[in-house]
Amino acid sequence: MPRYFFHILSGGMTVEDEEGMDLPDMAAARQEAVASARDLALSADKDGFGKETRSVQIIDAAGAVLGSVPVLGSGQGHL
């Protein structure tokens, strides 16, 4: 199974996912990124943070960026 990493970009900074996840395919990686973006949006709404532009990047084991999911307000995460 391929390993995917989910880096968080926030206000010009990157928090790198050093562990990653083994997932069956890119569709499963997209679902994981959307869920992560939704969780980040919910915590930002609750804590009053999240005004900066944030996203969850999907990275493969070679370090290539495969996609990005924006972190939106009110618990939304979309491709």
So what's the pLDDT on residue 75?
47
| Dist CA 44 CA 28 (whole Å) | 24
Token representation of residue 55: 């996203």
The domain locations on the chain are: 3-70
Residue where the block lists tokens 């005004």: 51
Per-residue tens of pLDDT for the chain, all 79 residues: 999 999 999 878 899 999 999 999 999 999 999 999 988 888 765 555 555 668 999 999 999 999 999 988 654 444 4
